[in-house]
Structure 1
């Protein structure tokens, strides 16, 4: 008998695709980058509803007040909590896929023999590095003080999956390097070889914007200002005339959009993961009686008090009898949230907001953002294979309005109050709001102003607790407000302050579609004097648990998940 060598028995399966056989040409890279975009679009990367719950923006889930069992709202989450685990897993899935494309693109560079393919190779590499950098941007700003494992390559053995945590500074340097490469090698706008738009892909402007925010979050205001001003001046972005263009399926991928995840109902193929299902389902007032997050009472008061510019004709409406009047609420308020007595806006097919949802059990305000409140019933949503209701609304992760306010923050910190007011007022004027500053001042002297002289102290307070919330609440890649409260060093204080406030419900009458006056009981939220001897409304209190439970060392960041601690023996070596 004739023996055989041992390696004769070890053969590659010719029917399997492996890294050695797949990454051979530009078409393979095209497939690969699509897989990275698919991972980046997973809502678990952002966990918007859970991030809202652990901020000061939302009263979190439950059937009705005062019952609340949400661990993120109560600040009792830990390393085994679902959001902690799933966000981590999804972000590292994005990184794992990006690393495969990056390795392949670097290997194939210089092998094509034609300029077009080489250029496309560079652009695919830049997209993959942007998406990897963005995943690390989120990990760094949300987990373990920024100290997380760094994977810059594709593991080739079991031990390759075990990594110790890197320092926060190492992660910061790494993802900034990715974003700088993307900024230098991505186009500002996308058009393919057939002169067809590829809008929705990541761009150089988005990379510069994230770099600016990374320096802002670090407290390096001069460098942040430089990057943010580049975004404002060099990439052709502009504020949309209507702020509502940024929140629903209307006017998606518009001139204000910097970073946006594209969703659609037209190519679902039965896959519920192809859309932002849970966000739409858990925020809307038209979907039932269980909510993942509703607008916090303090924020409702701010939206209701957002002052109009009475010199701006956009605030004028024509009544049924032909006479003119002014809007009840600002355009920014009406497009951002649904308040029961907002008669100037429709809601889920009803001619007035208050007729479009129940507004009961002390749920008096819902976000319009992310929801299909403006569409006809058959166009709003479809049912996914897992029974969830799926929305086709794109996720706007970053838009120019945010960059204007970020830039204004840098100017306040650097002592240029006039420059800060200039950009805050650009945002306010877009929504026909009363402008900040003395009467007759600034870029728009003939518009209404609040006639307040601003300094660093009172303008900072306004920016933090009025302008950022009213313009940007319930937006972004999830957790922006938590990052802000943490970097300002005021999160515990903020919960304590809000827990001391008191509210009550107010009823009012509204005319229904048949012309009959009906009561909306307790459908409006009003703030009352906390020292009032008649305060008998504890069911309206908010953030009581958070004020007690929040601990900076345990809750400022998400902890590293226990699943990672168990699976990675080298984590703390």
Structure 2
């Protein structure tokens, strides 16, 4: 109780948040802080792939070592499931709040180039919000009216705001907020950037097109996606470059529209997985130890491609071997010493993000946490297929052309150009997305937005191997994930927000 001034009057370590944004460099630092939480989206990728009908959860054959991942895979997850689902909720809101720290101070200082910094921040806010709405539906957001339209407020969510903030009225309304951020950002973004992590105009246009597509605004989506295509900034990688596109040697290539950067330089620990500058997602995709191979490193045996996905590819489709690491010959060996069999072993592994020895060597700190493999969030092939879908849905003239460009890369020629004998053009585009983007985290959300999830999981259940568990997908429920129960309770919002439909039973 005596002479305590020496203890309470402590100089702050680092900058004071209330006295920041006094220089251009401080705006840049705040923007880098907003970019930083993109690296935490490895949780999003893990859950998104596990939710797909084309990938089994895998993992320890004798214990449910990642119960949330395995529950999501079977569509039996609940509001009580935390871990990865709660991490997505917390970290995407954390990213959004870091952006709002920048944007609420956008008028504090004027300097040349500030518009580009603000535009990058708007893209990041749109990206984090897009992840939230994909997973959780019409999420709570601070909203304000600006120039006659609703916008996400340029204001941080404070420690008491959770007790009054409301959910946005609908999923479509959330997409509208995302669209407004991107429309503001695009004019101030450069077509190219000096560093690969920075957002370009094409990335913002591609995300805007995607937001329109998810919102059912097909004509708008076609318009903006055609702008990405006509910019001639991007192209499809070919030949060996395509074969190696998902290796570290193939990062930030001509097909990369938006790529999340990872590094193995800074380490992390098990008590703070998201503190890593590397990708934890990659570790899940490798065969379980013991596994000895000259190229591939051991992992944890999760996210196993299905036999049905493998059979979808024709033998001369080069995407099959780029997508699926086929160890079925090793799986058949009777001595079972080649790799430890995971739960519901198919013998297939996610080749796009499987750990490789060359990438893993030299990893800082705990090697499993800091894989340096980038995540290709938006590829040009995805842009072409989104544009094809948008054109087909709005009677555009380019749908077949865009579809055939993707197919020609896959087969090496035009022998598989679309023909009306195949049936519906839109169904052909959906199937092409399945093959082109498998293992990248898009399939489940494609099934949801096109209303085909129930039929896809029914087809999986009908074709799955004997002994594999059924996936119990319930319509009007499993299209989104539950708000983590602990988040509802902490915000005292059990009644105010309500749980997502179907998860209170």
- TM-score norm. by structure 1 comes to 0.72
CA contact (8 A) 1:263 1:275 kept: yes
C-alpha displacement of 1:290: 3.7
2:149 match: none
C-alpha displacement of 1:12: 8.9
Separation (CA, whole Å) in 2 of partners of 1:232 and 1:156: 37
Unaligned regions of 5+ residues in structure 1, if any?
1-10, 110-116, 191-196, 309-329, 344-355, 436-447, 504-537
Q: Deviations over 1:454-492 (max 9, x none)?
A: 47x433333323x112211112xx4x2222111211211
1:545 match: 470
Separation (CA, whole Å) in 1 of partners of 2:368 and 2:157: 38
Are 1:334 and 2:343 counterparts?
no
CA contact (8 A) 1:260 1:394 kept: yes
Separation (CA, whole Å) in 1 of partners of 2:51 and 2:257: 26
Separation (CA, whole Å) in 2 of partners of 1:364 and 1:65: 17
1:122 match: 115
Question: Structure 1 residues 474 and 156 mapped into 2: Cα distance closer, same or farther (>3 Å)?
Answer: closer
**Over the residues paired in the alignment, what is the CA RMSD in angstroms?**
3.1
Bigger Cα Rg = 1
User: How many residue pairs were aligned?
Assistant: 452
1:52 match: 49
Q: 1:20-35 counterparts in 2 under 5 A?
A: 20-35=18-33
2:410 match: 431
Q: Deviations over 1:241-288 (max 9, x none)?
A: 2323431101211111111111122x3256764344432111123444
Question: Structure 1 residues 289 and 229 mapped into 2: Cα distance closer, same or farther (>3 Å)?
Answer: closer
Question: Structure 1 residues 78 and 184 mapped into 2: Cα distance closer, same or farther (>3 Å)?
Answer: same
Question: Structure 1 residues 180 and 13 mapped into 2: Cα distance closer, same or farther (>3 Å)?
Answer: farther
Separation (CA, whole Å) in 2 of partners of 1:398 and 1:108: 33
Q: Deviations over 1:337-391 (max 9, x none)?
A: 2124799xxxxxxxxxxxx964966432111112344xxx454345554562532
Are 1:399 and 2:379 counterparts?
yes
Looking at secondary structure, tell me which structure has more strand per residue: 1
- Select the residue among 453, 478, 493 that pairs with 1:555: 478
Question: 234-243 or 32-41: which moved more?
Answer: 234-243
Are 1:459 and 2:425 counterparts?
yes
- Select the residue among 275, 279, 285 that pairs with 2:281: 279
Q: 1:499-510 counterparts in 2 under 5 A?
A: 499-501=461-463, 503=465
Q: Secondary structure at the match of 1:552?
A: coil
Separation (CA, whole Å) in 1 of partners of 2:283 and 2:97: 30
Q: Secondary structure at the match of 2:56?
A: strand
2:291 match: none
Separation (CA, whole Å) in 2 of partners of 1:396 and 1:67: 29
Are 1:366 and 2:365 counterparts?
no
Are 1:212 and 2:195 counterparts?
no
CA contact (8 A) 2:268 2:366 kept: no
Question: Structure 1 residues 276 and 481 mapped into 2: Cα distance closer, same or farther (>3 Å)?
Answer: farther
Separation (CA, whole Å) in 1 of partners of 2:129 and 2:351: 30
CA contact (8 A) 1:155 1:161 kept: no
C-alpha displacement of 1:407: 1.2
Unaligned regions of 5+ residues in structure 2, if any?
1-7, 143-151, 288-295, 331-336, 498-505
Q: Secondary structure at the match of 2:257?
A: strand
